[in-house]
Amino acid sequence: MAIFVEVDENNPSIVRDASKCVYCGMCKKTCKVPVCINCGQCANFCPPEAITEKKDFDKIREIIKNTDKVVIFNTAPAVRVALGEEFSGEDGEYVEGKMVTAIRKLGVDYVFDVTFGADLTIVEEAAELVHRIKNGGVLPQFTSCCPSWVKFVEMYYPEFRKNLSTAKSPISMQTATIKTYFANLKNIDPRNIITVAVAPCTAKKYEVQREELSDASKFNKMEHYQDTDYVITTRELAEWIKEENIDFYSLEESNFDDVMGKGTGAGVIFGNTGGVMEAALRTAYYYITGENLPNDKLEFHEVRGMESVKEASIDINGLEVKVAIAHGIDNARALLEKIKAGEVTYHFVEVMNCVGGCISGGGQPKITLLKLKETRLKRIASLYSEDERLTKRLSHENPEIKELYENFYKEPLSEISEQLLHTEYFDKSNLLEGKV
């Protein structure tokens, strides 16, 4: 039996260069599943970099140089608390402004914030949760923003597919909206738009190729195209910036572009384990009570922290909402087995494949084993600090989100939002048998 992770040549997320392998077995020790869920953790812990993400930034660079396409970058929350580490910055340093400036210097047309997409996801996902609770829907509802977790359920626990929230991930919601609402707003042919997501995650490269994530082309009644064209990791963005000889820490700070450039604190903390749950609870409280939580009640410390599995019971006007949070796929598997056996019951469950959440994604700057815990905690603290700093901390209070619903989606779970912002899942257990 091989002591290294075998990577199929068609894997959209990672690639293995056998000539660099020193047969240390670190990748095999890191991998938790026999069939790849594209998480890229094997790449994070491969000392000689024999396994890396499958790089796409050269393709985007060529598009920028040689076509008249409108290139739109969208950056995930966890990227901005890790990117600086690639330029010898402090661990967990929040470098949003310099990141935006650096991306503009690469020649892109618009730079948007996926924190906006996170807010959009929460508005839909929290509405879905409340609808399930009030109308006898399938419970517990599972979060669906981690593509490795979604693929894990589809392959290993397909009987739980209906538990997954139908809400798309923030990146997928955002790019579907770009190629419909934004394209119409700016009078751009959506076929001329190239959407690029900068993510901490290699599994996003797999996610955006899913056939069902092409709703903008269906909505626009045009030939088939994907909502998201490319995903590059934090490491890829850093490599590109270095190749262009951009001195990252000498850059002035700049802001995201309007329309999808504002995110709330709730969207920012999406990058942390427990962050999706906390953001959703803030908005679910509003949907159930009709009132916003006061500022001193916004932080749900019960769902924070690095414990393998966290449980909490949240009282919302007499309704006891039972929740659980797991990070790391072994912990998720154990939790699913308990749910399956009827040993525990919840209303809402958040799962992230990577330990600590997206801040530890397979495309983030590598961390030495000696600094692993410390760096993860610094990245997490940085996102929570930004949440505390922002004046808007509720996803449904994001002014750009409000404008989007007024002008396009009308209301959460509307017919048009179901068409563009929600999806379905499939039984992929056949992949375990080596079938296509």
Kindly list the catalytic residues: 125, 128, 145, 165, 204, 207, 212, 358
Q: Is 393 exposed, middle or buried (0-12, 13-18, 19+ CB in 10 A)?
A: buried
Q: Which of 229, 191, 233 is nearest to 213 (CA)?
A: 229
* 88 conformational bin, left if phi > 0, alpha if psi -120 to 50, beta if neither: left
Question: How many CA atoms lie less than 13 Å away from 417 in the CB half-sphere?
Answer: 22
- CB-CB contact of 16 with 7 (8 Å): yes
- CB-CB contact of 382 with 93 (8 Å): yes
127/125 Cα distance (integer angstroms) = 5
Packing angle, helices 275-289 and 114-135, rounded to 10: 50
Gyration radius from the chain CA atoms? 20
The residues near 98 (Cβ < 8 Å, ≥ 6 apart) are: 84, 248, 249, 251, 252, 253
Q: Which of 230, 223, 226, 172 is nearest to 198 (CA)?
A: 230
164/167 Cα distance (integer angstroms) = 8
Q: Is 297 exposed, middle or buried (0-12, 13-18, 19+ CB in 10 A)?
A: exposed
**The token pair that represents 138 in the structure block:** 């399938």
Q: Which of 428, 395, 425, 424 is nearest to 412 (CA)?
A: 395
Cross-strand bridge partners of residue 72: 110, 195
Q: SS3 string of 163-198?
A: HECCECCHHHHHHHHHHHHHHHHCCCCHHHEEEEEE
